[in-house]
Amino acid sequence: MLVFWSLAALLIAVTLALLLRPLLRARHVAVAPDADAAAISVYRDQKQALDAECTDGVITPAERDAAVTELARRLGDEVATVRSAETDQRGQRRAWLAAAALLLLIPSAAVVLYTRLGNPAAGEAPDAAAADGRNPHEIADTQIVAMVDSLAQRLKSRPDDADGWVLLARSYQALGRFPEAADAYAHADAFVSTNAALLADYADVLAMAQGRKLGGKPAALAQRALAIDPNHRKALALAATAALEARDLDGALSYWRRLLAQFPPASDDAKQITAIIAEIESAKREGKGSPDAGSKSPRRSESASTAAPAKPSTGATIAGRVDISPALAARVALTDTVFIFARAVDGPRVPLAVLRIAAKDLPKEFTLDDSMGMAPGAKLSGAAAVIVEARISKSGNALPQSGDLSGRSAPVKPGAAGVTVMIDQVVP
């Protein structure tokens, strides 16, 4: 607020300077005191001298009259000059009075107009919130939730507003209100049904709403998305995970390989998907196409939501806290998604456990266990040491994107508690 008022004062000062400079430009005229009386006295003396010379016969009466006439003309000129100077002095005094009036009027008018037409409380709101012990970010979150609820109320009277329903669905998804998000997508079905990205998002939130399982309608929605765009990345990841949940390893491999073709061979994404494919092929060889149920099935791809948890193995948990560096806090939006995952220090890059939360929940206490694994045989309990990483995604995609924010822990062993992950890096 101090900066605002300082800038306002500077602008007022510049305005006054521009207005007053021409007004106060001095006009100096030297005028002697009683100038009229002095001029008349000289005229009288000179006329008396001319009369004396005429009486003495030095000049003729005609010459005296001509000289008197010339003196009278000169006297008139001198008196006019004096009065002009006096007029200038009076004008200068009026200019100073006008300048004084402007000095008082302009700042006062500016303050009054801002008080009536502006928003003086805008700069005081954060201070008031701090004085009450409230967090300004919490206030903003509450306002956003209220706006989303207001949109939901408005759409009840406008059920054909497809764009509005999609906006509401994405808003609910960002807030983690997945059943409401799925319902909103259903209201926009006519619009969603022709858009592969929206169908994939619909499948994702519906799976979250039904216990993080892709079986049934979510899998069907993923197939509809692939019918529109066979190379859609999120739809491929969802379809692959749905096939794994159904123990269709051949189908899962087909989808993962199609997804792998979307990335450069040397990229981290390609390496991660390659590791998942290798784990599935290993499970297929060991289980002859019929892996054990539950924890041995690869979970959903990081591009979707975390799958339903199973019973964790004893001693396989890692607990800790994820926080955001103050230097990067301003870059985090309410709609961002945070992925927390553990990777083996030595071994494939496939995550051993994955947890997805909303960025608005930071800082966040977390627990990772075997139930959050993504591939058969890749368990948290089976690693000698792991690194816990956290990444804030702007797009909601767990595959790293340029501009995402990330951080990691030091190597820890399964069973560790009090692990700290500080998000303090920007993904190039």
406, 262: one domain: no
In the chain, the amino acid numbered 234 is: K
**C-alpha to C-alpha distance for 54 and 48, rounded to whole angstroms:** 10
Greater pLDDT, 202 or 3: 202
For 49-64, the pLDDT digits (tens) are: 777 777 877 778 777 7
Domain edge (last residue) among 120, 147, 172: 120
Q: Is 79 exposed, middle or buried (0-12, 13-18, 19+ CB in 10 A)?
A: middle
The CATH number that applies at residue 174 is: 1.25.40.10
**C-alpha to C-alpha distance for 275 and 289, rounded to whole angstroms:** 18
Torsional class of 412: left (φ above 0), alpha (ψ -120 to 50), beta (otherwise)? beta
Residue 322 pLDDT exceeds 90 = yes
Greater pLDDT, 297 or 319: 319
224, 165: one domain: yes
291, 406: one domain: no
Check whether the bond before 351 is cis (ω within 30° of 0).
no
Q: In this structure, is residue 126 part of a structural domain?
A: no
Q: In this structure, is residue 304 part of a structural domain?
A: no
212, 292: one domain: yes
Q: In this structure, is residue 422 part of a structural domain?
A: yes
CB environment 160-178: b (16+ within 10 A), e (fewer):
ebeebbbbbbbbbbbbbbb
Residue 80 pLDDT exceeds 50 = yes
Q: In this structure, is residue 364 part of a structural domain?
A: yes
Q: In this structure, is residue 421 part of a structural domain?
A: yes
Q: How many residues does the chain have?
A: 428
**C-alpha to C-alpha distance for 60 and 26, rounded to whole angstroms:** 50
The CATH number that applies at residue 324 is: 2.60.40
Residue 290 domain boundaries: 136-296
For 363-404, the pLDDT digits (tens) are: 999 999 887 766 555 688 888 899 999 999 887 766 677 888
**C-alpha to C-alpha distance for 375 and 189, rounded to whole angstroms:** 33
344, 385: one domain: yes
Range name among 6-10, 259-263, 281-285 with the lowest pLDDT average = 6-10
Residue 353: per-residue pLDDT: 84
- Residues 123-142 have a mean pLDDT of 47
The mean pLDDT of the chain is 74
The first and second tokens of residue 182, run together, are: 């799925």
The first and second tokens of residue 254, run together, are: 């087909």
Domain edge (last residue) among 262, 296, 330: 296
142, 266: one domain: yes
Is residue 337 within a helix (H) or strand (E), and if so which, with residue range? strand 337-344
CA angle 277, 345, 282 (to 5 degrees): 25
141, 196: one domain: yes
114, 215: one domain: no
Range name among 110-114, 264-268, 343-347 with the lowest pLDDT average = 110-114
Q: Which of 32-36, 81-85, 241-245 has the highest mean pLDDT?
A: 241-245
Residue 332 pLDDT exceeds 60 = yes
Residue 178 pLDDT exceeds 80 = yes
Q: In this structure, is residue 125 part of a structural domain?
A: no
Q: What is the DSSP string of 109-178?
A: HHHHHHHHHS-GGGTTHHHHHHHTT--HHHHHHHHHHHHHHHHHHHHHT-TT-HHHHHHHHHHHHHTT-H
Q: In this structure, is residue 306 part of a structural domain?
A: no
Is residue 338 within a helix (H) or strand (E), and if so which, with residue range? strand 337-344
Range name among 108-117, 174-183, 268-277 with the lowest pLDDT average = 108-117
141, 290: one domain: yes
Greater pLDDT, 301 or 93: 93
CB environment 253-276: b (16+ within 10 A), e (fewer):
bebbebbbeebeeeeebbebbbbb
In the chain, the amino acid numbered 48 is: Q
18, 84: one domain: yes
152, 244: one domain: yes
251, 384: one domain: no
Torsion of CA 69, 72, 77, 82, to 10 degrees: 170
Domain edge (last residue) among 94, 120, 146: 120
Q: In this structure, is residue 94 part of a structural domain?
A: yes
Radius of gyration of the chain (CA): 43
For 207-253, the pLDDT digits (tens) are: 888 877 888 888 999 999 899 999 898 889 899 888 888 888 888 88
**C-alpha to C-alpha distance for 9 and 6, rounded to whole angstroms:** 5
* Number of domains within the chain: 3
